[in-house]
Structure 1
Amino acid sequence: MASLNVGNLGEYLREQRRTAQLSLRQLAEAAGVSNPYLSQIERGLRKPSAEVLQQVAKALRISAETLYVRAGILDETERDELETRAAILADPSINERQKQVLLQIYDSFRKENAAESAAASTADAGTDAAERPTT
């Protein structure tokens, strides 16, 4: 997990709030947090919890995962995985059994690719060691 990047998060939240044409007070009320607390988050003075970020994301109608990435709570690949899973689970054109099968296939592909990537990294490390001159 990365460290919190509160300044970047605050700037992003301010930009999203302005895009949504909400005042600080309106967003604070919609998110169920105090106006001063939200102001401190936007100015990079406070580190909000995941729960607060989720409330703010809901009020802004944006992905909570996006805010988690901005805050350093979640990394980019974890966000991509969560969004893929959410899209599968939200699809009304497939039934629950199909969703579970699709998620199982998705998981197996991710595990297979991770194993291949790890094997390639190990092979590369061995090649690098073999190419180093001995003293």
Structure 2
Amino acid sequence: MFGSLFKKKDTQRHPSAVPKEGNQSLSTTEAAALTKKVAALTTQIEQITDDKDKRHLLYNQLGATQVKLGNDLEAIAAYEASVKDKEEFGDAYNALLNLYETQRKQAAKAKNDDDIQKWVTKTDALLDMSKRVMRSGFGC
């Protein structure tokens, strides 16, 4: 009767749904095109001073492009600027959680306590932002 209840679970790990994109699989042509896109997005962002919604979207595109190039720190900077312009759940929020965790793991592997704390603090601040967004959505 309870035989299946106590069976061992399948210990095979499933790959994550979202593969980590990096510059490992990019051709020279693709990398050049993405680099050109980074320059164009940066120029567009610099030209927009008063439209935070549009700048927010451009920063999201810039962050995604930097991730494709394997430039995690530059992607973090772009996504943080996006969240600064407009606090919301979305691409920037999810990407930052993943990038912060990746950086924290690298710091842990290198046994760099200062960097571990830096990335944990950034994650905590992002989670605090998510609480503000949730509260504002419920009129609190």
Same fold (TM over 0.5): no
TM-score (norm 2): 0.30
